[in-house]
Each structure stands twice: as structure tokens, then as C-alpha cells.
Amino acid sequence: MKLRELLAEVPIQEATASLDGDIRDICYDSRQVRPGDLFVAVEGLKSDGHRFIQGAMKKGAAAVLCQHRPEGDVPYVLTPDSRKALALASAAFFGHPADKLQMIGVTGTNGKTTSTILIKHILEDCLKAKVGLVGTISNWIGDRELPTERTTPESYDLQRLLSQMVSAGCQYAVMEVSSHALALDRVEGVRFRAGLFTNLTQDHLDFHGTMERYAEAKARLFSQCGMGAVNLDDPWAAFMTRQAKCPVLGYSAEGRPEAALAAENVSLFAGGVSFTAKSGEERASVRLNIPGRFSVSNALTAISAGLLLGVPLADCTAALGKSQGVKGRVEIVPTPADFTVVIDYAHTPDALEKVLKTMREASDGRLVVLFGCGGDRDATKRPIMGRIAAENADFSIVTSDNPRSEEPEKIIGDILEGMPSDAPRQVICSRPEAIGWAIAHHQPGDVIVLAGKGHETYQEINGEKRHMDEREIVADYVKRNEERGT
């Protein structure tokens, strides 16, 4: 492709590179550059791509797209914002695949993964459509699963994935749209047919700084979509609605009268939830096989998407009744009958509180929670999560999560600051050992919640991802106990 075609929508301040030159591919990682590539120098969170321009040129880059003039004899194109330029150029390179799909974006602190999976299920079941999904657990092209590194990929990788969906015959793409993706322009130039907001609770303040800036990042989705839906039960709903540049449907699990879609007659049980969905004068029964009061909100998020896309209410609710649970979201792990182990991705204060309250309702014995906090992330939430565990569980096991570059003991110390000194607890830094301790010391009727890892099958320590699947660990310790006769 000609450089001129690639940069047709990119603001150009000046250029020394020939705009009629041929470009083989786009690359934003200098280590991956091949001869003929356009290297895009992006200012990252930890490093600045402009530092690696000379390295990219030595590897054969045909030109550089940047926002600061490079040193030396380098064929470059100068643009005000190279991160936005990367998104726009990538879309052009792959033939604007988002324009060929019905794009549905879901943003919010919690509930994105479950909601997107339920939306995909509704579209496949009701419209018999082929649907792509971009998410935290994995990416999907129809029924083909692909691995994922982050909730929303970098713009080039996202456009490549959307292009693969188009080539595979997908008509819809459902995306988890993270606040990082919105703030860092990973979805720049993508037009969503529908955008949905689940909730906003404390997370990622290490990146955004304040809740207001976090909310502003989330609200950007509603400037890029044709219609939206907002959870009216969330305190930030009014802010999102004010920021929206499209019509917005309000939904409520608490049955708010102003909601266009609301839940009535909510019933919670060990295996899921049931309720009546009301839209105008129409009502339809819902049964979802995912436990927890928050599952009502997630179901309404999915139904809202269906309604915005023209799927009748009764069809949406019938489809939800056929859906199964989501890996790592209130996932029951097989154990002997006298106790229960639940794996959940809860890694924010709000999510931890919700899963503990959910399992309290389903528990006849002690509620035990095993959790930690991630390193190199918002440290202010650590004592808050310690307090929430102490207030909502009968016993806490404080351990490691993904310490990354931090010392696990330091993270645990931050957590303990929020827990009363007399709160029943055990501190075990090694997460596998902590899980073994929880199983070995269980009492009949216990519900043990392993919080924070969810679908993840690794632990990130000092830049290395080490295999650690909590399902395997539970099975191993259960087997050991059975062999010992305990």
C-alpha cells in the first residue's frame, strides 16, 4: 500500500518520506520491524518509541510516523499525535474492517466480560449471526477461540483482529472497551453501533489519577456510538448520560421507574438468578445460570444490547436461559460434598464485596475468602479490599496475586493495614500453599472463595508469567487430603 493511502485520514504536519512509497506493513514495536515497514513511534507508559527510531531504520523500516522530529537522515512523517495516527493508519491498512461489522462496545469497571459473552450468545441464538468477541478472557471469531494479552488490544492488533472477523464472515463484533483503550486511543476511528456502560468503581487510579478522569475516559465511548445503554443503578449513570452524544436507554436491576428496561421479582438461588424483565408494557421471564445479584445487572446489560439491535425482549430472555456460566466468574470448582470452592476474578473492592455478599446468601457454613492484590497497580485499593474481606467473610487468607515487580510481602502489608488486628485471618505469601492451607483447614459447609485470578492460569512475578491454574491446585490438594483420609 502507498504511504499516501495509509495516511489518508492522518493529520500530517510535514514529511520527508515519499508519500508515494510502498509500505509492506505497520509496526509499533521496533523489535518486530521488517524491511519495508512503516514504524510508528508511540509514547508509551514505560518507554518512548521515539528512542528506537534508529533501531527501526537499521532493521529496514521504509519510513517513520512520529510526533517529534527524529535525529539524522530519517524519512519521516510528522503528526500531532502518533498514537491516534497508529489507529487511523491501521484501520486504513486493513481496509476499515470496523465499518463492515456491527460493533457493540461494553465499558465499565466490572461486568464487561460476562456481559459481552451474554451479548454474543443472544446475537448467535436469536439472529443466527456469526459474532466476533474481543475480551479479557479470550478473543473469539465465531466459535474459534484466540488467546488475548489485554482487555482491548493495541489499535493495530485490534484492526487486524477485526479484519480476521470480516474475512471469516462475522456480521457482529462485541468488545470489552477498557478505560485504558479509550484514553490511549486504541479504538480511535472505530464507530460503534451501540455502546453500553455497566458501572464505575475504584480501579486503575494508578493510571487515571482520579475517579473523575477515570469516568471521563469511560464516557468517551458514548462519543463514538450511534446509541447507548447505561446502568441507572450506578452513581455515575447521570454523568455518562450527560456526556453521551447519542440516544441512551436506561436500565435498572433495582426496578427504577425511569428505566426503559427494569428487573422485577428478582429471585436469587445457589445456581443462578431469575427475574422478570420489563420493557414498556412488555414483560418476559429470565433465568440465568450465573449466581449473584450482580448477574441481574449483567443480564440487563445484554438484554439492552439486544433491544438496541432490534432483538425482541422475549427472544433475548429465552436466549439467556440457554447460556452457561463464564470461566472465572463465580465458577464452582468440583470438590467433596462437605465444602465448596468458588473461583472469581474479583480484583477490585466493589467486585470483592459483591462476590462475598453473593456467596454469603448461598452459604450455610463459614465464608472463607483467599485473596491478594496486584503489584504495579493502584495501591490505594489494597487496604480497602482488606477491610471489605474482614467485614464480609468469616475468615480471610491474605496471599499473593500478580505481584509483578513489587515484593509480595509489601503488597500484603498494605492489605493488612485495612483489616482490624483481631479479624480472623491467615497470611501465607505463596498462593498455591495458601490454597492448600484453606482446603486442609476447611470445616463442613464452608464456602471458600478464591478471589482475584479468575480465568487466569498464570501468576506474574518479576516480568515472568508462571503457570498457576487454581483449578489444578484445588484438585491436587483435594486428592492429597483424600489419600490422607482427611
Write out the DSSP string of 82-97: HHHHHHHHHHHHTT-G
Spatial CA neighbour of 301 closest among 112, 137, 482, 42: 112
- pLDDT exceeds cutoff 60 at 377: yes
pLDDT tens digits along 220-239: 999 999 999 999 999 999 99
- Which pLDDT does position 307 carry in this prediction? 98
User: CA separation (Å) from 408 to 223, 403, 453?
Assistant: 40, 6, 15
User: CA separation (Å) from 136 to 133, 177, 398?
Assistant: 10, 10, 25
Residue 249 pairs with which residues in a beta bridge?
Answer: 229
CB proximity list for 226: less than 8 A, separation 6 or greater: 191, 192, 193, 194, 246
CB burial of residue 334 (10 Å; 0-12, 13-18, 19+): exposed
- Which pLDDT does position 359 carry in this prediction? 87
What's the whole-number average pLDDT of the chain?
93
- pLDDT exceeds cutoff 90 at 26: yes
pLDDT tens digits along 382-415: 999 999 999 999 999 999 999 999 999 999 999 9
pLDDT tens digits along 424-449: 999 999 999 999 999 999 999 899 99
Q: Residue 110 has which C-alpha cell?
A: 466490572
Give Cα 144 to chain centroid, integer Å.
Answer: 19
Q: What angle in degrees, to the nearest 10, is found between the helix axes of 431-440 and 470-484?
A: 40
Q: What is the pTM of this model?
A: 0.80
Question: Residue 183 carries which side chain, given as an amino acid letter?
Answer: A
- Whole-angstrom Cα distance, residue 156 to residue 113? 22
pLDDT tens digits along 191-215: 999 999 999 986 656 665 788 898 9
User: Is 458 in a helix, a strand, or coil?
Assistant: strand
Q: Which of 43-47, 120-124, 232-236, 342-346 has the lowest mean pLDDT?
A: 43-47
- Which pLDDT does position 332 carry in this prediction? 83
- Which pLDDT does position 202 carry in this prediction? 64
Dihedral sign for Cα 33, 38, 39, 40, please: negative
- Order across the sheet with 26-27: list the strands: 14-15, 76-78, 63-66, 38-40, 26-27
Give Cα 336 to chain centroid, integer Å.
Answer: 32
- Which pLDDT does position 95 carry in this prediction? 98
CB proximity list for 96: less than 8 A, separation 6 or greater: none
- Cβ atoms of 289 and 325 closer than 8 Å: yes
Q: What angle in degrees, to the nearest 10, is found between the helix axes of 381-392 and 408-416?
A: 60
- Cβ atoms of 185 and 87 closer than 8 Å: yes
Q: Which residue has the cell 422475549?
A: 314
Average pLDDT over residues 118-144: 95
pLDDT tens digits along 34-48: 999 999 999 987 789
- Which pLDDT does position 179 carry in this prediction? 87
pLDDT tens digits along 279-322: 999 999 999 988 878 899 999 999 999 999 999 999 999 999 99
- Alpha helices for 292-443 (secondary structure H): 294-308, 313-322, 349-362, 381-392, 408-416, 431-440
- pLDDT exceeds cutoff 70 at 151: no
- Cβ atoms of 449 and 370 closer than 8 Å: yes
- Whole-angstrom Cα distance, residue 224 to residue 187? 9
